[in-house]
């Protein structure tokens, strides 16, 4: 008899040594009703001997569970995570897909555990299969899943494999917004693989209509941070040519990158274009302009911009310090002293790092999902 209730579920958890973190809300089908749905193979799918055995082993595992109140999803999750720990990754990958086809969907966390184990085992084709089945399951990947993609890319030598992976991801997400690819582009660059990231971007562009404003914003930031200003400006032109409307994030990304490289000329051009497009200067763009004017030795302009900023913003400590040091360098010690006193007397109102952080968060548009 399969399902006599003799053991409490916590005992099972104790034996397996896994804390149970998954909720019981979905796939709450009782174990008693599972076998009919789980193990009737469709005649059309080809199942290998190994796969057959993987299913049988899962079947056995479920049959030894005595607590009828435990959901199928929970017990399958426990089993798959056990496979991950014991390194039976192909079985785990196969079972995830199989369960999905039987409408039993494990949580994102289980996918992430499997992706992590596969990256460690260094098998890109298996990684690709599991990431794709995650996309097909309609669970939105989270930052952990994307980080694993970048780690997997780091370990793969042939770029053909990356190309095929990206093509498949594009196919799966066809007709949806390019969020998944955007995040892959972002995270790949974040892990230091700028060329791979740009290659993926090129693929996306060639599939026209796929890239969006977020894609371009991401790539502009990647190029700007890498100091590749000419390419950044070229992509900005392409972006507009393709009809993607630059937003405030586009402009502040450009201005901030240009500032860091001391490109006053381009900073002014972009700031003017931004104003012409009906956007207003914000804390970040003002601060960037003050900084770049100062670096170029244009003290009057730095001060003028700073005074203008005060009409609409609480200037940051950075902006104060930057103007004060500009003034000192230009020998205008009286003015420097006056601003220093002003800064001291208004410390409570000054914009701090949080104000910038908020900006940055919205700039990357990486939403926490899942």
Ligand X SMILES: *[C@@H]1O[C@H](CO)[C@@H](O)[C@H](O)[C@H]1NC(C)=O
- Summarize as ranges the residues that interact with ligand X (CB under 6 A): 57, 82-83, 86, 88, 90, 123, 125-126, 337, 340-341, 344
Q: How far is the CB of 133 from ligand X (least distance, A)?
A: 13
Enter the tokens of residue 35: 């076998």
Closest residue to ligand X, based on beta-carbon distance: 90
Residues 81, 82, 88: CA angle, nearest 5 degrees: 95
Q: Which of residues 89 and 180 has its CB atom nearest to ligand X in the complex?
A: 89
CA distances from 158 to 100, 148, 300 (A): 30, 17, 54
Q: Which of residues 220 and 336 has its CB atom nearest to ligand X in the complex?
A: 336
Q: How far is the CB of 148 from ligand X (least distance, A)?
A: 16
φ, ψ for residue 237, nearest 5 deg: -65, -45
Q: How far is the CB of 196 from ligand X (least distance, A)?
A: 21
Enter the tokens of residue 10: 């916590």
Q: Which of residues 234 and 341 has its CB atom nearest to ligand X in the complex?
A: 341
Q: Which of residues 178 and 315 has its CB atom nearest to ligand X in the complex?
A: 315
* Inter-residue contact 161 to 128 (CB < 8 Å): yes
Q: Which of residues 136 and 341 has its CB atom nearest to ligand X in the complex?
A: 341
Q: How far is the CB of 145 from ligand X (least distance, A)?
A: 19
Q: How far is the CB of 317 from ligand X (least distance, A)?
A: 11
Q: How far is the CB of 338 from ligand X (least distance, A)?
A: 8
Q: How far is the CB of 12 from ligand X (least distance, A)?
A: 14
Q: Which of residues 16 and 238 has its CB atom nearest to ligand X in the complex?
A: 16
């Amino acid at each position: 008899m399969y399902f006599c209730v003799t053991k409490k579920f916590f005992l099972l958890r104790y034996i397996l040594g896994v804390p149970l973190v998954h909720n019981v809300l979905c796939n709450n089908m009782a174990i008693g009703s599972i076998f009919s749905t789980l193990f009737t193979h469709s005649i059309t799918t080809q199942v290998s001997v190994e796969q057959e055995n993987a299913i049988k082993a899962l079947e056995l595992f479920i049959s030894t569970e005595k607590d009828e109140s435990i959901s199928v999803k929970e017990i399958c999750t426990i089993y798959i995570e056990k496979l991950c720990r014991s390194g039976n990754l192909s079985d785990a990958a196969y079972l995830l897909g199989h369960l999905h086809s039987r409408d039993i969907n494990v949580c994102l966390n289980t996918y992430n555990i499997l992706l992590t184990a596969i990256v460690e085992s260094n098998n890109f084709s298996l990684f690709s299969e599991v990431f794709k089945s995650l996309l097909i399951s309609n669970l939105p990947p989270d930052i952990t899943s994307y980080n694993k993609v970048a780690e997997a890319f780091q370990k793969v030598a042939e770029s053909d494999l990356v190309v095929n992976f990206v093509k498949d991801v594009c196919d799966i997400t066809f007709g949806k917004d390019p969020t998944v690819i955007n995040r892959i582009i972002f995270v790949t660059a974040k892990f230091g693989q700028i060329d791979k990231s740009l290659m993926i971007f090129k693929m996306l562009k060639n599939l026209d209509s796929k890239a969006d404003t977020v894609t371009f914003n991401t790539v502009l930031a990647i190029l700007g941070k890498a100091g590749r200003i000419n390419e950044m400006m070229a992509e900005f032109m392409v972006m507009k040519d393709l009809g993607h409307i630059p937003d405030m994030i586009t402009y502040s990304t450009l201005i901030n990158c240009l500032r860091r490289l001391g490109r006053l000329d381009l900073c002014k051009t972009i700031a003017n274009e931004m104003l012409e497009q009906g956007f207003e200067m914000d804390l970040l763009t003002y601060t960037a302009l003050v900084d770049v004017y100062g670096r170029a030795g244009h003290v009057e302009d730095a001060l003028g911009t700073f005074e203008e900023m005060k009409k609409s913003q609480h200037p940051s400590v950075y902006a104060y310090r930057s103007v004060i040091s500009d003034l000192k360098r230009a020998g205008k010690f009286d003015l420097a002293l006056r601003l220093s006193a002003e800064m001291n007397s208004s410390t409570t109102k000054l914009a701090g790092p949080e104000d910038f952080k908020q900006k940055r968060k919205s700039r990357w548009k990486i939403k926490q999902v899942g």
